[in-house]
Amino acid sequence: MKDFAMHIMDIAQNSVSAGASLIELLIEESAATDSLTMVIRDNGKGIPADMLSKVTDPFVTSRTTRKVGLGLPLLKQHADSTGGSLSIESAEGAGTTITATFGLTHLDRQPFGDIAGTVVLLAAANPEIRFVYEHKTPSGEYRFDTDEVNEMLEGMSISEAPVIRFLREMISENLKEIKISG
């Protein structure tokens, strides 16, 4: 995976598969501690305790369609390569929280990629799921919540092409305003 947006898509798809009705994404950049923290939290079915310690092993997966799962192992590798870490908290029936930290200015830190497009695609493809995305930088904060968007749309579908274009542009402009690291 070449950027954060791809990691976010992969983990969020796991949350969708786990039956989540709420998926939260928090990204916090800190120049003071030279760190970037990404938290993805869901209220899905959770990971069984016996699997939790194995989920960063690429040859362990709960999928039946293939025998490898590279999403979490690659995220861990990318975090570790910048002096960061990956932690996973989960309880069956209560959801999962994945926290990855990275060196903000580390040479090996991946770029963000198209986070705006990823968030909008997830929301449009899964209109029954509430997505909340928060991004904090030293220059400000931005928050996107599909509940608020749906209220603003007054019955229009978040999946309609003009809405998708508008939301992607809106998120991109707000991220520029708070000066994300890229």
The number of distinct structural domains making up the chain is 1
Which pLDDT belongs to residue 68? 44
| 44 within domain boundaries | yes
- Please name the residue that has the structure tokens 């999946």: 159
- The domain of 132 spans 4-177
Does residue 103 lie in a domain region?
A: yes
Q: Which residue has the tokens 């903000």?
A: 104
Does residue 19 form part of some domain? Answer: yes
Q: Specify if 53 maps to a domain.
A: yes
Is 63's pLDDT higher than 70? no
Flag whether 26 is in a domain.
yes
Q: What are phi and psi of 13, to 5 degrees?
A: -65, -35
Whole-model pTM over 0.95? no
**63 within domain boundaries:** yes
DSSP helix/strand/coil, 5: helix
Residue 182 placed within a domain: no
Interacting residues of 150 by C-beta distance below 8 A, sequence separation 6+: 158
pLDDT tens digits for 119-160? 999 999 999 999 999 999 999 999 999 999 999 998 899 999
DSSP letter for each residue of 156-174: --TTSHHHHHHHHHHHHHH
Q: Is residue 22 part of a domain?
A: yes
Q: Which residues pair with 41 in a beta bridge?
A: 24, 97
CA atoms within 13 Å, Cβ hemisphere of 155: 0
> What is the reported pLDDT for 3?
95
DSSP helix/strand/coil, 139: coil
CATH number for the domain spanning 86: value is 3.30.565.10
